[in-house]
Amino acid sequence: MRSTTLCFPIQGNPAQQILLGMKKTGFGRGKYNGFGGKLEAGETPLGCVVRELAEECGIVAEEADLRPAGELLFIFPANPELNHDVHLYVLHKWQGAPQEMQEMKPVWFDVAEIPYSEMWADDCYWLPAVLKGKKVNGKVVFSDNNEAVDGITIRTE
């Protein structure tokens, strides 16, 4: 199982806008998502988020400004090599303006207009809680097509 991160830059408190990236390459291509990726050897989840934000949308974040938003386990029974645990974060403060990079094209959305139909099928179950300041923990089991959700258990705190 590989460890990954996912971060959502947001504006406003409560959240009014969210920065999502349209994935242009690789796993998840064609979907909007937060910014993040696989932890490199010896890297902490916070260090991974800082690196991935710079690589995927060109913004600079400080570890101290990242707020943990929970952890999810993604299970792909048809392709176990895709299984991963995700450390979730939100970010309210950063330096620089988001810019399109090789892997992602960042787009601001009003929270009321998040394009869930163009995101991973599980996002609509837990992202609203994260945007309300809650932490989520749970497990998502994807169907054999690696897209639809076969089972989900989410706890909020």
pTM of the model: 0.96
State pLDDT tens for residues 101-156: 999 999 999 999 999 999 999 999 999 999 999 999 999 999 999 999 999 999 99
CB atoms within 10 A of CB 96: 12
Distances (CA, A) of 58 to 38, 94, 103, 104, 115: 18, 10, 11, 10, 22
State pLDDT tens for residues 20-51: 999 999 989 999 999 999 999 999 999 999 99
**Alpha-carbon span 77 to 136, nearest angstrom:** 22
Q: For 2-156, which CATH superfamily applies?
A: Nucleoside Triphosphate Pyrophosphohydrolase (3.90.79.10)
Which residues, including other chains, have CB under 8 Å from residue 3's CB and lie 6 or more apart? 38, 39, 45, 84, 85, 87
Mean pLDDT of the chain: 97
